[in-house]
Amino acid sequence: MSAVTHVVLVEWDGEDRSSEASALARDHLTRIDGVDSVQAGPSVSTEGKEGGFHWMLVVRFRDHAALDAYLPHPEHRPVAEFIGGASARVMVFDVEDASGAPTLS
C-alpha cells in the first residue's frame, strides 16, 4: 500500500486566517488514525508564485484507506468547516506516493 499526500491551498476571503487554520489543523487532524503528519502555514517563498493562495495544508496518510476514512471523520469537520466558511477559493490535490520511486537530491 502506498502512502498518500493530501494538499489543500486556500485563498482567504478577507482577513488572513492562517494562524487559526493552522492551530485547528494541528489540534484536530493529528488525532485521526492513519494521519502520519500534518504541516500547515502561509508561504515563505520569495518567488511570489502562490497564485493568490495564502495558506497551505499538507496531510500525509499511511495509505489511501486512511485518506478515505479522514474525509468523513469528526475531527476533520471543524477544519473543513472553518476553511469553507473563511475562504474565497480552495484547491485540493492528492498524490499517491510511488513506491520505489527515486529520491530527488
| DSSP letters spanning the chain | ---EEEEEEEEESSS--HHHHHHHHHHHHTTSTTEEEEEEEE---SS--STT--EEEEEEESSHHHHHHHTT-TTTHHHHHHHHHHEEEEEEEEEEPPTTPPPP-
The mean pLDDT value of the chain amounts to 93
CA-angle at 80, arms to 33 and 47, nearest 5°: 100
Task: Note the pLDDT tens digit of each residue in 77-95.
Answer: 999 999 999 999 999 999 9
| Residue 30 pLDDT | 97
Name the pLDDT band for 98 (thresholds 50, 70, 90). confident
Split at pLDDT 50, 70, 90, the class of 14 is very high
CATH 3.30.70.100 given to domain 4-44+52-92:
yes
